[in-house]
Copies of this chain bind each other. A is one copy, B any other.
Amino acid sequence: MTQQLAVAVLGANGRMGAEAVKAVEAAADMKLVAALGRADSLDQLASSGTRYVVDLTVPESTEANVRFAVEHGMHAVVGTTGWDASRLATLEALLAAKPETGVLIAPNFALGSVLASALAAKASKYFESVEIVELHHPDKVDAPSGTAVRTAQLIAAERAAADVPPSPDATTSERAGARGCDVDGIRVHSVRLRGLVAHQEVLLGGPGEQLTFRHDSFDRASFMPGVLLGLRNVAAHPGLTVGLDGYLDLGF
A residues contacting B by CB (< 8 A) are 110-113, 115-116, 119, 122-123, 126-131, 133, 135, 138-144, 167-183, 187-197, 203-225, 229, 248, 250-252
Knowing A119-B119, A215-B209, A250-B251 touch, does A189 contact B192 (C-beta < 8 A)?
A: no
Beta-carbon contact of A211 and B208 below 8 Å: no
A189 in complex: contacting residue of B115, B178, B210, CB < 8 Å: B178
**A247 → B minimal CB distance (Å):** 11
The A interface is mostly helix, strand or loop, or mixed, namely: mixed
* Bound complex: CA A119 to CA B112 (Å): 12
Knowing A143-B175, A173-B141, A175-B144 touch, does A193 contact B189 (C-beta < 8 A)?
A: no
Cross-chain pairs A/B with CB under 8 angstroms, 11 sampled: A112-B127, A115-B211, A126-B248, A141-B172, A167-B194, A171-B190, A177-B181, A193-B204, A195-B208, A207-B225, A211-B215
Copies in the complex: 4
Query: Please, which residues of chain B bring their CB within 8 A of the CB of A138?
Result: 128-129, 167-170, 205
Closest to A143 in B: B178
Knowing A171-B140, A205-B193 touch, does A211 contact B116 (C-beta < 8 A)?
A: yes
* Bound complex: CA A183 to CA B248 (Å): 26
**A215 → B minimal CB distance (Å):** 5
